[in-house]
């Protein structure tokens, strides 16, 4: 029979298990991965929306916000030099110099659409444009005044230094009587002379400005 007064032997102490080194390494890798993802997201949030050209933009083109692409980029201080969605009014903007396809649009490359000094006008030409003329080129608009019996007077420049916005396809019967139609960006001061020439049936020609000056 056991004597209650006899002291009992202490229970054996179990050895503590050391953490698995592989588990610690795995946890460290997971933490590093999470930190990297958070860093990338944070960096993306620091970017800003700017506008890019989905295609080649040339001087004289009138654009709305729908004609441009929105890109979120982190440009820092340099980002202030590029066009943002809030910079484009509902009426649109006019391109003042060429912007390449895929490039961000500099603020300096656009202006207020149909500003106080310029506007666009479509004219029918009696002679075709040169094969090398492209939208954005500077053209001088010449007019040979219509006289009696289908004759024309000596041509004079009625709108120097216009910009070619685009060529316009002629339709119907007029397609056979014209050498082509063009939309030009012209100084407002020249609009009255151009409209008078159109109403009078004068023969109009658009010549590259550099050729006109050199000739």
Rounded to the nearest integer, the mean pLDDT of the chain is 78
Mean pLDDT on 191-198: 92
Which has the closest alpha carbon to 208: 120, 116, 135? 135
Burial code of 175-210, b = ≥16 C-beta within 10 A, e = fewer?
A: eeeebbbbbbbbeeebeebbeebeeeebbbbbbbbe
pLDDT digits (tens, 9 = 90+) for 74-101: 766 455 688 999 888 887 888 877 888 9
Contact 106, 82 (CB under 8 A): yes
Which has the closest alpha carbon to 181: 143, 140, 135, 125? 125
Residue 47 has pLDDT above 50, yes or no: yes
Euclidean distance between CA atoms 211 and 172, whole angstroms: 32
pLDDT digits (tens, 9 = 90+) for 139-179: 999 999 999 888 999 999 999 989 888 888 766 545 455 77
Euclidean distance between CA atoms 125 and 209, whole angstroms: 16
Euclidean distance between CA atoms 113 and 88, whole angstroms: 10
Q: How far is CA 26 from CA 17, 30, 37, 161, in A?
A: 18, 6, 17, 70
Within 10 A of 82 (CB to CB), how many other CB atoms are there?
21
Which has the closest alpha carbon to 46: 74, 7, 19? 74
Euclidean distance between CA atoms 155 and 116, whole angstroms: 29
DSSP state of 102: T
Euclidean distance between CA atoms 105 and 116, whole angstroms: 23
Which has the closest alpha carbon to 41: 71, 82, 72? 72
Mean pLDDT on 187-215: 82
């Amino acid at each position: 029979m056991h004597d209650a007064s006899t002291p009992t032997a202490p229970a054996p102490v179990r050895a503590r298990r050391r953490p698995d080194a592989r588990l610690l390494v795995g946890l460290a890798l997971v933490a590093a991965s999470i930190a990297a993802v958070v860093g990338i997201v944070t960096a993306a949030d620091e970017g800003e929306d700017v506008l890019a050209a989905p295609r080649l933009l040339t001087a004289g083109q009138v654009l709305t916000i729908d004609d441009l692409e929105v890109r979120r980029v982190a440009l820092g201080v340099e980002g202030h030099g590029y066009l943002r969605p809030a910079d484009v009014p509902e009426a649109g903007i006019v391109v003042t110099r060429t912007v390449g396809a895929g490039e961000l649009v500099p603020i300096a490359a656009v202006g207020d659409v149909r500003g106080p000094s310029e506007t666009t006008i479509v004219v029918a030409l009696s002679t075709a444009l040169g094969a090398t003329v492209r939208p954005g080129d500077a053209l001088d608009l010449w007019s040979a005044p219509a006289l009696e019996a289908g004759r024309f007077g000596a041509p004079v420049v009625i709108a120097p230094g216009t910009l070619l916005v685009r060529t316009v396809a002629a339709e119907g019967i007029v397609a056979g009587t014209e050498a082509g139609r063009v939309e030009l960006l012209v100084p407002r001061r020249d609009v009255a002379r151009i409209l008078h020439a159109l109403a009078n049936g004068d023969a109009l020609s658009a010549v590259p400005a550099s050729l006109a000056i050199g000739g």
